[in-house]
Amino acid sequence: MSIQIENLTKIYNPDTDFPVTAVNDVMLQVEQGEFVAVMGPSGSGKTTLLNMLGGIDRPLDGTVTIDGIDITKLTDKELIGFRRDNIGFIFQDFSLLPVLTALENVEFVMQLQGKSKADCEARAVELLNDVGLGDRLGNVPGKLSGGQQQRVAVARALAPKPKFVLADEPTANLDAQTTYGLLDIMQQLNEKEGTTFIFSTHDPRVIERARRVIVFEDGRVAEDRVQGPVGSKQ
């Protein structure tokens, strides 16, 4: 799996007197299994970049090619299917369905893929055990802490075996101990599943763990560096 971004540009309100250039002619390539942090100040364009990578937002110009498929050319209906089968999402606010249990939240996307009940349950149980919630399968989100809810969200993102996971400020609402524990889990799953992780973050704890750091400023890549793996911290 590879992600190729070429000449990617996004301008909000382009036909007004006050256009806002969020992403400006960006070129990037991300390979299978990378653990990448995209960092930069608020308004730098990093979240817009992730939204275009995930097919949530469309660029004004440029291409996003994933395994040979330019997703900017897909119809809205095709994009829905592509996201479901290829991209996992982890959001700052967890975005769990409040009436479903932890197990049911993780099963949900796989059910949309048409997988059997037995396969959905087996995969969901495996992942919830991986994230340390094997004893919380029947809990609804309101009965889980913030850190536990985010771990369910990580399991849900990985459930359909996506090509990559996009995580937008996933540690923003978590304390230090919970953050380090969550990062340990995501690193372990990155290695076990071979899934690419791309984070948008301000959090130095996430940046420290990343094996590649892309610095965004004013809609452009200001720096793109590879750094050695950092061990877990408690």
232 in any annotated domain: no
What are the CA-CA distances from residue 118 to residues 106, 107, 123, 207, 210 (Å)?
13, 10, 9, 38, 35
Task: Pick 141 or 194 by higher pLDDT.
Answer: 141
What tens digit of pLDDT does each residue of 165-186 get? 999 988 887 888 888 988 998 8
Q: Which pTM does this prediction carry?
A: 0.89
Query: How many structural domains comprise the chain?
Result: 1
Q: Which residue in 226, 217, 227 sits closest to 39, CA to CA?
A: 217
Beta bridge partners of 66: 3, 69
* Cα Rg of the chain (Å, integer): 18
CATH code of the domain in which 30 resides:
3.40.50.300
53 in Cβ contact with 3 (< 8 Å):
yes
234 in any annotated domain: no
Mean pLDDT in residue range 57-75: 96
What tens digit of pLDDT does each residue of 83-139 get? 999 999 998 888 999 999 999 999 999 999 999 999 999 999 999 999 999 999 999
90 in any annotated domain: yes
Average model confidence (pLDDT) across the chain: 92
Q: Which residue segment(s) compose the domain that 197 sits in?
A: 2-226
233 in any annotated domain: no
Helix (H) or strand (E) segment spanning residue 66: strand 61-66
Tell whether the model's pLDDT for residue 234 goes beyond 50: no
Residues of the chain with pLDDT > 90, as a percent, come to: 80
Mean pLDDT in residue range 21-39: 96
149 in any annotated domain: yes
- Written as six digits, the tokens of 172 are 């923003």
Q: Residue 233 has what pLDDT?
A: 46
Mean pLDDT in residue range 215-221: 95
62 in any annotated domain: yes
